[in-house]
Amino acid sequence: MIALGHRAHDRWHQALVSAGVEEAAASSDPGEVGRALDALLSGLIEVADEYGFGLTDHALAVHPELSRRAEELEEREIALYTAAQRTGLLRADLPVRWISNTVYGLLVAVRESLRRGDVARRDVHRLVTQTFLRGAASPAPEDGPRSAPHDGRASDGEGA
């Protein structure tokens, strides 16, 4: 199992390198940062599909060498997310680690959705990038604010 964890980290590293994360993290060009972000998400989706078990496996999370390497790889990702915040591609009001954890959560969703057959493999990249960049809320109408979803229960305005 530990050997599989090492392979998963190697693929994670390859995804970072292939996406040009280090170069993009140092850039102030939103186009370069955006391309790297898209490429990284694509690479991470592939890693999650191949090694998704490692996302939530406790034995891998507590293994000292794997834990250290995961932290190192995540720091590289975080540098890209910080650049995306700096260039206006991602919200600057969110903690960068929250953004990183959001990507992690979406990768777990990829693993589970593919395992259960909830989504087609061909749709995963679109689902991840749209959910990550736009959220799950419906678009706001042009002429007014978004309202909270209504659950069908009557409300007296006083709260629960």
Domain ranges of the chain: 2-134
> pTM of the predicted model, to two decimals?
0.83
For residues 144 and 2, the model is more confident at 2
pLDDT for res 128:
97
Is the predicted pLDDT of residue 49 greater than 70, yes or no?
yes
Q: Is the C-alpha dihedral spanning 121, 127, 129, 132 positive or negative?
A: negative
Helices (H), ranges, 52-117? 58-62, 64-86, 96-116
State how far the alpha carbon of 4 is from the alpha carbons of 45, 54, 66, 82, in Å. Answer: 17, 8, 11, 30
pLDDT for res 160:
43
pLDDT for res 121:
94
Rounded to the nearest integer, the mean pLDDT of the chain is 87
- 142 pLDDT tier (thresholds 50, 70, 90): low
Put residue 89 in one of left, alpha, beta given phi > 0 → left and psi -120 to 50 → alpha.
Answer: alpha
18-27, 58-67, 102-111, 135-144: which range is least confident on average?
Answer: 135-144
* Rg (the chain; Cα; Å): 18
pLDDT for res 21:
98
pLDDT for res 54:
73
